[in-house]
């Protein structure tokens, strides 16, 4: 048996279903991980008069993790300045959220950070599941030549945060102060009224007061903002606990998700394994009832388990060392509303997701993408505050869609009762011979959701194919390296597909949409042989018009919009027909 190299590694504090893994306590600069080296960012104070910062910021974001930074970049796409208050003085420690979906990559592309994600991230399309030592299920996520992005990449969260931070740095170089990120600064109090918020912040240099029109809590599972308002996440918490271990292992095994159910080297449990950049491998294993969390996280216990696992899969001869450990308890929980006056919530501050199906950070990116354009329109005075209520409505509906799939996976991965355990055992024992039963093992990976019954969607025409109102636009190559999704955001977009012949009234509406306050973009795709595949996929063989929101969801679609329909749909999608007080 190979002797593991056991080195001191950052260890997260135990979390629960509402928080997930917590960051380790600060104790010196975290050690490098592979090619990644941490940077400590110094705190600073803004210009103050008697402890008060002058002026009012349009948006203050509590929490500078990936969701907070994504929201700030999304607001910047609309020219809206923001301040991020981040209590830590480095990007996060540990892999944490490490699987990024195609939908999230589309969002990251609109934020300007996609090249770095793709250059470093490891793309993968499927995975395998084993019962004891027998392979019983193999899955492949949808992927074909029509799509420019992989269905999933593995990328540790410290890289995710660093690449978003790099983009923030680039934006600030071009427009100083566009995103004011204040490291080592915690929010310690706030009050709100009809006009805005007064906030208290503190860092190692002192405390001060600042003002904001809007506050967004992106401060994670232990959200100070949420607790300050006396709010709690509600939903389902599971008893199953998972130890998360990052190891450095120079293995040539391909990038795919592997899951072992009831393996002989850890009977009665489940083990997951993912490859990450820099030869870092993520291992998650389920603690059995009665096992001590504290005992499981001891270095000698971690080393013994990892070595036993590597021996069992034929890689025990390879040298390895531990770089990070944590514990996670699965849960599907949400706030009942993501808007409370002038305070909004996103990411883990708003909801908690089980790790299965990788819906945690991917849901957070969707939160930021949905909220950024709406908050920007309200901040700029182009929409009423009712638009922000649709953020809460749509993202809570998305939570329940995601939670349903995640909870099914969780109940299979971590049976909540003896009955579920017996059902799983029966399914696993039969799955090797019966493909239909094996589908129960499908991890149901995250995908873009449809906002059914969104108040922002307008009556539309049925088409033979193509995305319906509330759905996202799929990728389709348009030639010369261009894809249909390249036409999305940051404005509303009108797609005029395969429509020929003059229509003076419609052209006037298009011109008004382009030159109006929302400055909608218009893209045309003529009826031509090279465009036939896209027109067919969009149901536009005889012509069609789509109105797309800045987040890529369809607001309306028509074969031919009747007079005034485009103008009305644009007003409805932006809530510009509602002008109420916040």
Kindly report the three-state secondary structure assignment for every residue of 297-356: CCHHHHHHHHHHHHHHCCCCCCCEEEEEEEEEEEEEEECCCCEECCEEECHHHCEECCCC
| pLDDT value at residue 578 | 37
Residue 208, judged by CB atoms within 10 A of its CB (0-12, 13-18, 19+), counts as: buried
Report how far residue 512's alpha carbon sits from residue 518's, in angstroms, rounded to the nearest whole number. Answer: 10
Q: What would the two tokens of residue 38 be?
A: 């941490």
| pLDDT value at residue 147 | 85
Q: Which residues contact 248 (CB under 8 A, 6 or more apart)?
A: 33, 34, 278, 279, 280, 281, 320, 321, 323
| pLDDT value at residue 12 | 55
Report how far residue 80's alpha carbon sits from residue 58's, in angstroms, rounded to the nearest whole number. Answer: 7
| pLDDT value at residue 5 | 41
Whether the link from the prior residue into 490 is cis, omega within 30° of 0, is yes
- Digit-by-digit pLDDT tens for the chain (582 residues) are 444 444 446 665 555 555 555 555 555 788 999 999 999 999 999 999 999 999 999 999 999 999 999 999 999 999 999 999 999 999 999 999 899 999 999 999 999 999 999 999 999 999 998 989 988 888 888 888 788 999 999 999 999 999 999 999 999 999 999 999 999 999 999 999 999 999 999 999 999 999 999 999 999 999 999 999 999 999 887 667 889 999 999 999 999 999 998 899 998 888 999 999 999 999 999 888 788 999 999 999 999 999 999 999 999 999 999 999 999 887 789 999 999 999 999 999 999 987 765 678 999 999 999 999 999 999 999 999 999 999 999 999 999 988 877 666 555 555 555 555 655 566 666 555 555 555 555 555 556 789 998 999 999 999 999 999 999 998 889 988 899 999 998 999 999 999 987 789 999 999 999 999 999 999 999 999 999 999 999 999 999 999 999 999 999 999 999 999 999 999 999 997 433 333
| pLDDT value at residue 23 | 54
* For helices 157-174 and 66-77, angle between their N-to-C axes, nearest 10 degrees: 30
| pLDDT value at residue 1 | 40
| pLDDT value at residue 412 | 57
Q: What would the two tokens of residue 90 be?
A: 């480095």
- Torsion, CA 503, CA 508, CA 510, CA 511, rounded to 10: 140
| pLDDT value at residue 21 | 56
| pLDDT value at residue 489 | 86
Q: What is the pTM of this model?
A: 0.91
Sign of the alpha-carbon torsion through 447, 452, 458, 464: positive
Report how far residue 377's alpha carbon sits from residue 339's, in angstroms, rounded to the nearest whole number. Answer: 16
Report how far residue 332's alpha carbon sits from residue 315's, in angstroms, rounded to the nearest whole number. Answer: 35
Rounded to a whole number of angstroms, the distance between the first and last alpha carbons of the chain is: 66
| C-alpha separations of 360 from 98, 220, 221, 351, 453 in Å | 10, 11, 11, 9, 24
Residues of 303-339 as b/e, b for ≥16 C-beta within 10 angstroms? bebbbebbebbebbeeebebbbbbbbbbbbbbbeebb
Residue 371, judged by CB atoms within 10 A of its CB (0-12, 13-18, 19+), counts as: buried
């Amino acid at each position: 048996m190979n002797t593991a190299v056991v080195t001191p590694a950052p260890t997260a504090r135990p979390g629960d279903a509402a928080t997930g893994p917590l960051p380790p306590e600060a104790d010196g600069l975290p050690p490098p991980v592979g090619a990644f080296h941490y940077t400590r960012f110094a705190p600073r104070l803004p210009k103050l008069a008697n402890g008060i910062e002058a002026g009012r910021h349009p948006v203050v974001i509590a929490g500078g993790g990936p969701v907070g930074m994504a929201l700030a970049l999304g607001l910047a796409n609309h020219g809206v300045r923001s301040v991020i208050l981040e209590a830590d003085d480095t990007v996060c420690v540990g892999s944490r959220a490490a699987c990024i979906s195609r939908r999230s990559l589309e969002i990251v592309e609109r934020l300007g950070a996609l090249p770095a994600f793709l250059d470093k991230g490891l793309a993968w399309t499927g995975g395998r599941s084993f019962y004891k030592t027998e392979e019983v299920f193999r899955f492949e996520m949808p992927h074909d030549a029509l799509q420019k992005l992989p269905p999933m990449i593995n990328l540790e969260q410290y890289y995710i945060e660093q690449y978003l931070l790099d983009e923030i740095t680039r934006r600030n170089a071009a427009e100083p102060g566009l995103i004011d990120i204040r490291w080592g600064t915690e929010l310690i109090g706030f009050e709100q009224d009809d006009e805005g918020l007064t906030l208290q912040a503190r860092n190692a240099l002192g405390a001060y007061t600042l003002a904001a029109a809007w506050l967004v809590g992106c401060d994670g599972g232990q959200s100070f903002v949420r607790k300050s308002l006396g709010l709690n996440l509600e939903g389902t918490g599971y008893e199953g606990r998972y130890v998360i271990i990052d190891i450095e292992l120079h293995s040539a095994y391909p990038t795919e998700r592997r899951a072992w159910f009831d393996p002989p080297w850890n009977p009665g449990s489940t083990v997951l394994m993912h490859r990450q950049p820099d030869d870092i491998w993520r291992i998650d294993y389920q603690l059995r009832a009665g096992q001590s969390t504290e005992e499981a996280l001891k270095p000698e216990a971690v080393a013994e388990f990892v070595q036993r696992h590597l021996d069992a899969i034929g890689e025990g001869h390879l040298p390895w060392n531990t770089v990070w450990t944590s514990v996670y308890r699965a849960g599907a929980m949400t706030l009942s509303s993501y808007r409370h006056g002038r305070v909004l919530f996103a990411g883990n501050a708003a909801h908690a997701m089980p790790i299965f199906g990788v819906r945690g950070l991917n849901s957070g990116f969707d939160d930021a993408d949905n909220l950024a354009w709406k908050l920007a329109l309200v901040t700029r005075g182009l929409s009423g505050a009712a638009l922000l209520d649709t953020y809460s409505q749509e993202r809570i509906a998305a939570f329940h869609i995601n939670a349903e799939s995640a909870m099914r996976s969780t109940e299979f991965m971590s049976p909540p009762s003896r009955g579920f355990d017996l059902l799983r055992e029966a399914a696993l024992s039969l799955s090797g011979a019966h493909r239909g039963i094996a589908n129960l093992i499908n991890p149901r990976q995250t995908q873009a959701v449809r906002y059914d019954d969104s108040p922002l969607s307008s009556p539309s025409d049925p088409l033979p194919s193509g995305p319906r109102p509330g759905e996202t636009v799929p990728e389709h190559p348009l030639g010369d390296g261009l894809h249909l999704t390249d036409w999305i955001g940051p404005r509303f977009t009108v797609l005029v597909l395969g429509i020929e012949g003059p229509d003076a009234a419609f052209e006037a509406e298009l011109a008004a949409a382009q030159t109006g306050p929302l400055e909608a973009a218009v893209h045309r795709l003529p009826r031509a042989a090279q465009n036939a595949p896209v027109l067919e996929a969009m149901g536009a063989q005889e012509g069609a018009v789509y109105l797309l929101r800045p987040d890529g969801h369809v607001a309306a679609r028509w074969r031919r919009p009747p007079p005034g329909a485009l103008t009305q749909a644009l007003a409805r999608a932006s809530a510009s027909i509602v002008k109420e007080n916040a």
